[in-house]
Structure 1
Amino acid sequence: MCRGLASLPTSCLERAKEFKTRLGILLHKPDLGYKIGSLSRSTKQRYALEEVLGWKESFDRLLRSKSGLAAFHGFLKTEFSEENLEFWLACEEYKKTHSKAKLAAKANRIFEDFVQNEAPKEVNLDHETREATRRNLTIANSACFEEAQAKTHTLMEKDSYPRFLKSAYYRDLTEQATSHRTGKPTHT
């Protein structure tokens, strides 16, 4: 027999809300033009050794490389931490929007998806940055996510990127690229 939500204990409501949030994350499909799915590559993807090694030179070089983005996104997915990269990419796509009418709608969607408290793919931002971004939405322009995007970039550069470079994931990509170059099979 179903009971009304008001009659459920608070802990049940909290668990239900948490379940809904987690389910939302699993079912979330971006529709702002930033196609994260297009970053995903087959595990059989072959990268050039120079390209893979080039990703170590700088985080920005990795971000400028389409295949570097795909590899980094794949790594982040293994850690269940891809939201920062997805937010950064959404901001990059948002900056390319020229229509004032579309700016406001896209800004609100990005905010709802990544910035607001308990967003489906909430990024880790301090309260001040979150509130400044909320205020920026009132005059949605191409720079309204600038501060939040910069903080997310710094967080990835200082945290996720070094982990990526030290990971077995990156090491495997390097080994595959090396063996592809030399024609020797990889040991997996």
Structure 2
Amino acid sequence: MCRTLAAFPTTCLERAKEFKTRLGIFLHKSELGSDTGSLGKFDWGSKHSKESKSFSEDVLGWKESFDLLLSSKNGVAAFHTFLKTEFSEENLEFWLACEEFKKIRSAAKLSSRAQRIFDEFIRSEAPKEVNIDHETRELTRTNLQAATATCFDVAQGKTRTLMEKDSYPRFLKSSAYQDLASQASAATTFTSSCSPAEPSHT
């Protein structure tokens, strides 16, 4: 039951649904995969206001640092959606590919995956060519001759720096994120004033 009903005319459940809808619009057609950006794992029912509040805090945390954004699956999906509007999603996709690449333990798989990443993101005229200098491109090409988990580190680091200094500030200033952050702030305040398990007293 909501104790501040006059200030918040909607119920806790309706407010949570509204926030979920707003997030769904923001992440519309994200193509990072079923795990990233998936809303399925979040239960926005009235019995789960704690999860709702936690997720709201996650959204608000994206503006605290680029690291917090990249450590959040929904943050990555939201940022990816924004980058697509700027036609620069290849930078984030390369960074994510490198993160997955580092988890590979098989030497044979490392070599084949490294070549695939190079062909997709690094080589000149690659279908998703990232914006790195010639020296870094050639260094990465050399690293592929004996592929290790760190062979993309320099290129990945430069791409990350580019996103943090260029795209990330614009993402935070975008109307889409500003609107979502406003909803998250309201949801955090709202859920703190709700106590779903509180019994009614007569």
Higher relative contact order, chain-length normalized (CA < 8 Å, sep 6+): 2
Q: What is the count of residue pairs matched by the alignment?
A: 147
Among candidates 68, 74, 84, match of residue 61 of structure 1: 68
* Structure 1 residues 40 and 120, CA gap change in structure 2 (3 angstroms): farther
TM-score (norm 2): 0.68
Question: 1:37 is paired with a residue of what secondary structure?
Answer: coil
| Contact map agreement 2:60 2:184 (CA 8 A) in 1 | no
Structure 2 portions without partners, runs of 5+: 1-30, 45-51, 192-202
* Distance across 2 between alignment mates of 1:79 and 1:111: 23
Which residue of structure 1 lines up, in the alignment, with residue 32 of structure 2?
A: 36
| Contact map agreement 1:40 1:73 (CA 8 A) in 2 | no
Question: How far off its partner does 1:160 sit?
Answer: 0.7
1:14-59 deviations in Å (ceiling 9; x for gaps): xxxxxxxxxxxxxxxxxxxxx82333557xx987331111111110
Which residue of structure 1 lines up, in the alignment, with residue 26 of structure 2?
A: none
* Structure 1 residues 137 and 150, CA gap change in structure 2 (3 angstroms): same
Among candidates 121, 126, 137, match of residue 130 of structure 1: 137
| Structure 1 position 104 matched with structure 2 position 100 | no
Of the structure 1 ranges 174-183 and 140-149, higher mean CA displacement relative to structure 2 is found in: 174-183
Among candidates 156, 179, 197, match of residue 172 of structure 1: 179
| Structure 1 segments of 4+ aligned residues over 4 angstroms from their partners | none
* Distance across 2 between alignment mates of 1:180 and 1:74: 22
Of the structure 1 ranges 102-111 and 72-81, higher mean CA displacement relative to structure 2 is found in: 72-81
- The residue type equivalent to 1:113 in the other structure is E
1:72-127 deviations in Å (ceiling 9; x for gaps): 11111121111000000000000000000000100000000000011110000000
Which residue of structure 2 lines up, in the alignment, with residue 155 of structure 1?
A: 162
TM-score (norm 1): 0.72
Q: What is the alpha-carbon root mean square deviation over aligned residues?
A: 1.9
Question: How far off its partner does 1:179 sit?
Answer: 4.3
